Structure 1
Amino acid sequence: MSKIEARLTELGVTLPDAPAPAANYVPYVRVGDLVHVSGQISTRDGEFLTGKLGEDMTAPDGALAARGCAISLLAQVKAACGGDLDRLQRVVKLTGFVNSTSDFSEQPTVINGASDFMVEVLGDAGRHARSAVSAASLPFGVAVEIEGIFQIK
């Protein structure tokens, strides 16, 4: 078991199989030592986690959704690394999209759910650049979608 997967186990997290794309794109692209992972949408127990922040979801609800996106991002990185998650060197950047009302302003708090999880799992290697933006809607009505750039060995 890799060090990263051992840490995930300590946290009670099991990575799912890397989700398959839902349309005409690939789940990740490797360019040199960077892996660009397509947007991962919020799910819970294999079902879409839907809702609109500021309407029927709170910022803490959204942060849990963002954490789920981060778990899917790591599953994609594991696939990109041929199953060896210890090849992951650092999280470079996350871009988070929050399905929210026009007056909701806590997008950074929501995306902290993913950022905090990356640091909890990876320590300083999980610290990253980031954007957190509002969206009027997201695919399938999900609450959060996050894409990421990762450096691997």
Structure 2
Amino acid sequence: MSRIEPIIVPDSAAPAGHYSAGVRHGGLVYVSGQLGVRPDGSHTADRPFEEQVRTALANVLRVLAAAGLGPEDLVKVTAYIVGVGNWPRFNAIYADVMGAAKPARAVVPVPELHYGYLIEIDAIAACRDDAL
């Protein structure tokens, strides 16, 4: 049986709760829900939606990079957004950041998120042979 290995993300804010930013297990990396928290731990909850999206996506990519992966390795992304009206703006930023990567995805409208954020993103990525 393979071990569950926490992903350590250098130069990033430590998780605010009892969880890892990401874990590797069985050839997959699971990225915990990422808010728009900057690497220094400061929040973007009071900033525009677009800035929150870019920061949350950057955090997802930061966890992947710490695992030796990139957006092309993503298998599934789930975005939780406050306000279904934010969906088109999310989609445009997501497409810009992800480029050619098109993992399976769900966008889930929710009534509210922790700390007053408007977006939270989690993900699953497949490890490449050279990233195991």
Task: Using structure 1 for the length normalisation, give the TM-score.
Answer: 0.64
SS for the counterpart of 1:148 is: strand
Deviation at 1:34, TM superposition (A): 1.4
C-alpha separation between the residues in 2 aligned to 1:109 and 1:66?
Answer: 12
Out of 54, 77, 80, the position equivalent to 2:67 is: 80
CA-to-partner distance for each residue in 1:50-103, whole Å, 9 max, x for gaps?
Answer: 25xxxxx8xxx424321211111111112223xxx46x7522111111123xxx
Pairs aligned (count): 118
Q: Which runs of 5+ in 1 are unaligned?
A: 1-15, 52-56
| Equivalent pair of 1:96/1:111 in contact (CA under 8 Å) | no
1:37 alignment partner in structure 2: 31
Q: Does 1:64 align with 2:51?
A: yes
Could you tell me which residue of structure 1 aligns to residue 105 of structure 2? 130
- Which residue of 90, 106, 111 corresponds with 2:85? 106
SS at match of 2:73: strand
Letter in 1 for 2:124: I
Match of 2:45? 50
Q: Which has the higher contact order (CA 8 A, sep 6+)?
A: 1
Give the RMSD, CA atoms, in angstroms: 2.6
Return 5+ residue gaps in structure 2 as ranges. Answer: 1-9
Aligned to 1:42, the other structure's residue is in SS state coil
Partner Cα separation in structure 2 for residue 144 and residue 133 of structure 1: 10
Are the counterparts in 2 of residues 19 and 72 from structure 1 also a CA contact under 8 Å?
Answer: no
Per the alignment, in what secondary structure is the counterpart of residue 48 of structure 1? coil
| 1:146 aligns to 2:121 (yes or no) | yes
Evaluate the alpha carbon distance shift between residue 108 and residue 20 of structure 1 in structure 2; reply closer, same or farther with a 3 A threshold: same
- Write 1 or 2 for the structure with the bigger share of helix: 1
TM-score (norm 2): 0.73
**What percent of counterpart residues are identical?**
30
CA gap 1:39/1:62 in 2 versus in 1, 3 angstroms: same
Kindly state the Cα deviation for residue 111 of structure 1 after the two structures are TM-superposed: 3.0
The alpha carbon displacement at 1:107 in A equals 4.2
